[in-house]
Structure 1
Amino acid sequence: MSFLTLAVSGLGALVLWTAGYFFWVVWISSKATTGNPIDRATRPNTALLVIDIQEDFTRNSPKPYSEDVRARGIARINQEIEAAHAAGQEVILIKQVFRHWPAILAMKLLMGGIGTPGRKGLAFDEDLKTGNVPVFEKPIGDAFFNPELDAYLAGQNVGHLRLTGLDACQCVQFTAKGALNRGYSVEIIEPATMTVTPEKWPPIKDELLAAGAALS
């Protein structure tokens, strides 16, 4: 086999691998994960998840939230955090950082690079008041893609999750489904969520309710 034939063959394999990896990233980013079912009877505790309230998404996005929506949403999240602390419940921050190169490339080409590694905008919004709480990073919509989150919840005997943050139609939705797939009880605090596509929320909300989630 000639060097040229080997080079062409290698290039073809690289193209196929690249295309396959790209479509794998698109696929995992648009669905919820599955995992081992939990025994909710042995996990009576509650945790509040605050999803992706980061400067890049609350302030720096090319499709930003209005100041009124941002301020009102974060104020309600802060109320939920304060109430959770007062009740002795876990408060957990979820942080989006795109780690797969197709997602990084797409965000840089289409969204000004928000959510990609190395940006100051990955910091949590300056108006968010959390206290000293654990943080779990995720590279896709569903926070349960990071197995450390599930392990931490198991260690804290958490079986009920209350979800806040953004985007309701994306990361909140997929995290809720990932939790439901594992047997968690899920409550979405609707006034403490935000979305840049409010027209898409009603059917997604109906789907989540049909899957067993509760909304408050």
Structure 2
Amino acid sequence: MTFGYILGAAVLFLIIWLGDGIRRIGSVSVGKTIGERGGSALLLIDLQSVFWDCGPYSDASKKSASAVILEEVAAARVQNHPVIAVRQEWSIPSTKVLARLTMRGQAIEGCEGTELAWLFSSCPDHVIVKRVQDAFETGELDALLERLDVGELRVVGLDLNYCVQKTALAARNRGYGVTVMKYGVLAAGPMEAAEKRMSSAGVVFS
């Protein structure tokens, strides 16, 4: 067995391994369809220091979005609806490598900045850690929503084109009613394609 053969096999393995990481990051899970549930919850997605304070969002857009987010939190409190924050932490080996290569190493498990931004730190009743864009991927959010008897989700946070979109689609795959607060989300790029995909899946924009 030649060195060239070994090197080629190693490169092929690395490509496949990283490709699987890319697939996992952007996949939308399909879980068990929920039954009748009467409760509602507010989901805060990725409102972490590393994204909110250091992300590609303008001060003006953050000011506008934060006002809507905090209004939604206040409304949830009045209605006794749980507020659930979802935090991103890249912890799968292949996704950690991809985060270092393509995402400036942001939100890797154990790194600074994965905590909620100060503006939102007192908002949640529950905090869930996700490993990929889809917050349902680990099953922890499924279990929490079942325990809380939640069948309707209102969603705010970032980024609409990635984690908000994938989480909303995963929720619809399970039968949740999903409303995305259009002015309570941020996106680094054009949102039209993501909005169209979500709307086609039954996500409501308010």
Assess same fold via TM > 0.5.
yes
- Per the TM alignment, residue 178 of structure 1 is displaced from its structure 2 partner at its CA by 0.3
1:15 Cα deviation from its structure 2 partner: 4.5
- Whether 1:60 and 2:46 are equivalent positions in the alignment is no
Deviation of 1:130 (Å): 3.6
Task: Write the distance in 1 (CA, Å) between the matches of 2:70 and 2:121.
Answer: 6
- Residue 145 of structure 1 aligns to a residue whose secondary structure is coil
Name the % identity: 30
Per the alignment, in what secondary structure is the counterpart of residue 44 of structure 2? strand
1:181 alignment partner, one of 173, 180, 186 = 173
Question: Which structure 1 residue ranges, 5 or more long, are not aligned?
Answer: none
Q: Which residue matches 1:51?
A: 45
**What is the root-mean-square deviation of aligned Cα atoms in Å?**
2.0
Quote how far apart the aligned CAs of 1:67 are: 1.1
Relative to structure 1, the CA distance from residue 81 to residue 129 in structure 2 (aligned partners, 3 Å threshold; closer, same or farther) is: farther
1:35-184 pair list within 5 angstroms = 35-39=31-35, 41=36, 43-61=37-55, 64-128=56-120, 130-131=122-123, 133-184=125-176
Show CA shifts across 1:140-184 (max 9, x none). 111001201101101111111111100001100000000001111
Number of residues paired by the alignment?
206
In the superposition, the TM-score normalised over structure 2's length comes to 0.91
Asked if the contact 2:18–2:98 (Cα under 8 Å) also holds between the matched residues in 1, the reply is no
- Paired amino acid for 1:44: G
Hey, what's the Cα distance between the residues in 2 that align with 1:164 and 1:96?
15
Structure with more helix by fraction: 1
Structure 2: segments with no counterpart, 5+ residues = none
In structure 1, what is the Cα distance between the partners aligned to 2:160 and 2:147?
27
* Rg comparison, structure with higher value: 1
CA offsets 1:41-60 (integer angstroms, 9 cap, x no match):
2x110010000000111122
TM-score (norm 1): 0.87
* Equivalent in 178, 181, 196 of residue 206 of structure 1: 196
Q: Name the SS of the counterpart of 2:57 in structure 1.
A: coil
Letter in 2 for 1:37: T
Q: Distance in 2 between matches of 1:35 and 1:109?
A: 31
Match of 1:25 among 21, 26, 34: 21
Alignment partner of 1:176: what SS? helix
Any idea what the Cα deviations from partners look like across 1:66-92, whole Å, max 9, x if unmatched?
111112212211110111011000110
Q: Secondary structure at the match of 1:186?
A: strand
CA distance in 2, matches of 1:92, 1:144: 13
Instruction: Work out the CA distance in 2 between the residues paired with 1:13 and 1:36.
Output: 39
Distance 2:131 2:84 in 1: 17
